[in-house]
Amino acid sequence: MQELMFLGLFVLALGIGWFLGRREAIKVGFMVQPHGSALDRQYFIGLNYLLNEQPDEAIETFIRALEVNPETVETHIAIGKLFCQRGDVERAIKVHQNLLARPNLSRLQADNVQLELARDYLAVGMHNRSERLLEELVDNGSPLRAEALVDLVKVYEREHEWAQATVVGEKLVRERPDFAITLSHYYCEMARQPLGQQEQAQARKHLQDALRADPGCIRAILMLAELEQGLGRYKDAGGWLQRLAGTDADMVPEALPLVRRSADNGALDFGDYLDSAIANGPPLIDTVLARADEMRANSSIGDVSRFVLQHIQNQPSLRGLMYLIDLHLDHVEGKGRENLLILRGVVEALVRAKHRYRCTSCGFMAKRLHWQCPTCHGWSTIRPLKGRETA
């Protein structure tokens, strides 16, 4: 039903474009007879194809019937977009190339066509051609400069050319400040190579650039903490970990191994660190259970159990329930222990089947953290599930 509605709207757009083109042709003396012309016949042939459920033939006929002039350019662009959306990018390229060759287009119309042609090339992986067209739009001061920058940065991202991506990203962020989050990840990607080559100074510079672009970039903070620990600078690493807890407590579980190493080297107190993360908002169950493990050294099982129970009552958690079962398992005998083991097996199977992360943009579910969503390709859109979402 939705496809038929879209097709109907498309035919209406073609009809309007045909009428405008016909009127323009009459105005300039190209068409002498207003009725019964070849243009009329082409239009009705197209309608006949449409009624006989032959949409491809209908579209081809409409394209032949539709005179290209300044009043019908938008209709031709829409036809090219339709081909691209349907996966027929080769036809879309032909339509947009044909348009771009017309000498009577206005500057804005020519730029629109060039942008769409660049997107066609990008869709089929012809990155060099797309890059060249987009760079022209950017360098020539086109009114579509911001849109061209958005697509140009996609070209470099797909090719993993992070240095070029950051150059274009710096230009784009001045026009679209919300791009700062993505730009910070480009700098993090740049830092990965020098880190692998033990060039810590260069890697630190890239990570500091990431934080300059987005002070809340958790990935950069984690990478800096790991970098400083690798150099034995546990106090500096502890400072970055403290910043992490204050910036986004939900990401503290990703840093727990780093926190433990810093605590073991005297850079921070593990229990106090977890308490500060828990105090910053409803905590993730990983943070709660890490704190419970820390409490077991100096507290009774009852105190630990009440601590965990308090949190899972507020935010139900299967993993929290399994922790409580394990906590009491060694203190129950006979039939009670047997029942607890059965219950634990059921809960463990449910925990294994659950995802722990979800993309806030497209809903993609994952069992591990991705900095870039594999589905919608958004950066920093995947977040840990918490509370009832994980129960």
Q: How far apart are CA 332 and CA 338, in angstroms?
A: 9
Q: Residue type at 5?
A: M
Q: How far apart are CA 235 and CA 238, in angstroms?
A: 5
Determine the distance from the C-alpha atom of residue 132 to the mean position of all C-alpha atoms in its chain, rounded to a whole number: 25
Q: What is residue 47's predicted lDDT score, i.e. its pLDDT?
A: 46
Tens-digit pLDDT profile for residues 160-202: 999 999 999 999 999 999 999 999 999 999 999 998 888 999 9
* C-alpha to C-alpha distances, 105 to 44, 110, 152, nearest whole angstrom: 28, 6, 24
Tens-digit pLDDT profile for residues 277-292: 998 878 888 999 999 9
Q: What is the 3-state secondary structure (H, E, C) of the chain?
A: CHHHHHHHHHHHHHHHHHHHHHHHHHHCCCCCCCCCCHHHHHHHHHHHHHHCCCHHHHHHHHHHHCCCCCCCHHHHHHHHHHHHHCCCHHHHHHHHHHHHCCCCCCHHHHHHHHHHHHHHHHHCCCHHHHHHHHHHHHHCCCCCHHHHHHHHHHHHHHCCCHHHHHHHHHHHHHHCHHHHHHHHHHHHHHHHHHHHCCCHHHHHHHHHHHHHHCCCCHHHHHHHHHHHHHCCCHHHHHHHHHHHHHHCHHHHHHHHHHHHHHHHCCCCCHHHHHHHHHHCCCCCHHHHHHHHHHHCCCCCHHHHHHHHHHHHHHCCCHHHHHHHHHHHHCCCCHHHHHHHHHHHHHHHHHHHHCCCEEECCCCCEECCCCCECCCCCCECCEEECCHHHHC
Domain boundaries defined on the chain: 200-281, 282-353, 355-391
Torsion of CA 156, 119, 94, 143, to 10 degrees: -110
Regions of the chain with pLDDT less than 50:
26-40, 42-47, 49-51, 65-66, 389, 391
Q: What is residue 391's predicted lDDT score, i.e. its pLDDT?
A: 46
pTM above 0.85, yes or no: no
Q: What is residue 115's predicted lDDT score, i.e. its pLDDT?
A: 86
Determine the distance from the C-alpha atom of residue 378 to the mean position of all C-alpha atoms in its chain, rounded to a whole number: 1
> Domain 200-281 maps to which CATH number in 2.60.120, 3.40.50, 1.20.120, 1.25.40?
1.25.40
Q: Nearest CA to 378 among 359, 391, 365?
A: 359
Dihedral of alpha carbons 84, 87, 88, 93, sign: positive
